[in-house]
Amino acid sequence: MPSVLFVCTANICRSPMASALFQGQIAQRPDAKRWRVASAGVWAMDGSPAARYTQAVVEKRGFDLSSHRAQGVSRELLRRYDLILTMERGHKEALQAEFPGLANRIYVITEMVDCRGDIADPMGGAVIDYEDTARELEGILTLGMEKIISLAAERQSTDSGDQRNGEQSRAD
């Protein structure tokens, strides 16, 4: 089962937004039910709901984040995902430093469209800032979908090959 984990700072704004938008886009694919998609935060306060404007922005697009609860990253969580997409270079660097064995799974989401920028955090801003973030994420997910699918599938085939050869796949 291919899997993607979206990561931001507190897991109440950008990463749950990206997760919802990705799930909406992946739903159009014939293999949609095979995908596992989630979000987390590098400094999340476990159990916090998605930000009010995040919920409003994704609701306008037909998605419901009312039951979302923030979760922090951990080695166990990261190991369950084929691809980890962060919102900022700092998130990527922090995760790769703390979990070097998982570094090859971690990318900044903008790398999916061959860019090096960060996704600005709209937290504390006006609803228009959240709309801008949603539009930026939608564009990246649309243009970068094939790369996302390819990277997740690449990890899947690597794990399958290790298991077929009787080896225990170790990520870290």
Identify the active-site residue in 14, 82, 105, 155: 14
Q: State yes or no: is 36 an active-site residue.
A: no
Identify the active-site residue in 69, 79, 89, 121: 121
Q: State yes or no: is 80 an active-site residue.
A: no
Are 109 and 85 in contact, with CB atoms under 8 Å apart?
yes
Are 90 and 97 in contact, with CB atoms under 8 Å apart?
no
DSSP per-residue letters across the chain: --EEEEEESSSSSHHHHHHHHHHHHHTTSTTGGG-EEEEEETT--TTPPPPHHHHHHHHTTT---TT----B--HHHHHT-SEEEESSHHHHHHHHHH-GGGGGGEEEGGGGGT--PPPP--TTS-HHHHHHHHHHHHHHHHHHHHHHHHHHHHHHHHHHHHHHTTPPP---
Q: State yes or no: is 121 an active-site residue.
A: yes
The residues assigned a catalytic role are 8, 14, 121
